[in-house]
Amino acid sequence: MPRRDIRRAKFMQAPREGTSAKPVGILVAMNLVEVPAGWFWMGREDGPLGQRPRHRVWLDGFAIGRCPIPNTEYARFLDSTGAPPPPWWTDPRFSGRDQPVVGVSWFDAEAFCQWLSRESGEAHRLPSEAEWEKAARGGLDGALYPWGDERPAVVALDRPPPVTATPHNPLGICALSGVCHEWCLDWESQTYYRESPELNPRGPETGTRRASRGGAWRHQDPWSPVAHRSSLPPHLRYSDYGFRVLLGQQGVTQPDRRVTPRLGHSDAPLAHARRRGA
């Protein structure tokens, strides 16, 4: 199972030249969880077309946000850049400090990552679909949900819950289902898994919709399986769309082809089929 290493990133914004203002914290409490390089099983063999075939993927190491970006952190970006706030920003159902920021387009999420990279001096971006799923699985490659196979009770929600209110996975990553869809780096294709490379897949080169992951509060059943895929044209802003950030590690590791992901209890039929050459 991947190791757990939660790091707190604290970046300071220097005062403008000619002023006596004290440095201002631009990112007070973003917890990042390290996910080491290695193999994992991506997709779901008995899932819809877009989740098949189930296939193994190697990813370089990275660190990903423990939670989606909350309103408190997005407010710092707005204050710093003067960017317009998203829809529902002042709606009491969506303006809680610990709720995820929603109503952001893919371009808004990208702008946040670029701002954070400039301010911190480290390269932040949206996760790829593969990076999101590996982090969400947290080593439970055979489980239906990020935390295991048990689905929480279905409840009707009229707003996004706080980012820490839903079950965590073994790495301590939260809000992976039942909160909001999360923008990913990739273009979306329902057939991409048929041609996806084994090493660090980044999605199709072109497309019309950007991929997203995670189960959203607006759904009749918000508890989407960890392999669930969704997408949206990148300019749209929905009240159940947010994002989390990724910090890539320096350097690239080489895959150890002698090591394969450990199969879970639901993986035996697939393993048997692969041994037969299916």
What pLDDT, on the 0 to 100 scale, is given for residue 262? Answer: 53
Percent of all residues in the chain with a pLDDT value above 70, rounded to a whole number: 78
In contact, 131 and 116? CB cutoff 8 Å:
no
- Of the chain, the end-to-end C-alpha distance in Å amounts to 27
Domain at 25-249: CATH architecture? Alpha-Beta Complex (3.90)
Query: Is the per-residue pLDDT at 116 higher than 50?
Result: yes
| pTM for this predicted structure | 0.83
Query: Is the per-residue pLDDT at 19 higher than 50?
Result: no
Instruction: Summarize the chain as % helix, strand, coil (round to 5).
Output: 20, 20, 60
Query: Is the per-residue pLDDT at 247 higher than 90?
Result: yes
In contact, 164 and 174? CB cutoff 8 Å:
yes
In contact, 64 and 176? CB cutoff 8 Å:
no
Query: Is the per-residue pLDDT at 172 higher than 80?
Result: yes
Q: For the chain, which residues make up each domain, given as ranges?
A: 25-249
**Strand (E) or helix (H) holding 136:** helix 129-137
Q: Give the E-state strand segments of the chain in sequence order.
A: 6-13, 24-35, 38-42, 55-59, 62-65, 124-125, 181-187, 210-213, 230-232, 241-242, 246-248
Query: Is the per-residue pLDDT at 13 higher than 50?
Result: no
Q: Around 239, how many Cα atoms within 13 Å sit in the side-chain half-sphere?
A: 17
Q: In the structure, what pLDDT confidence band is assigned to residue 154 with cuts at 50, 70 and 90?
A: confident
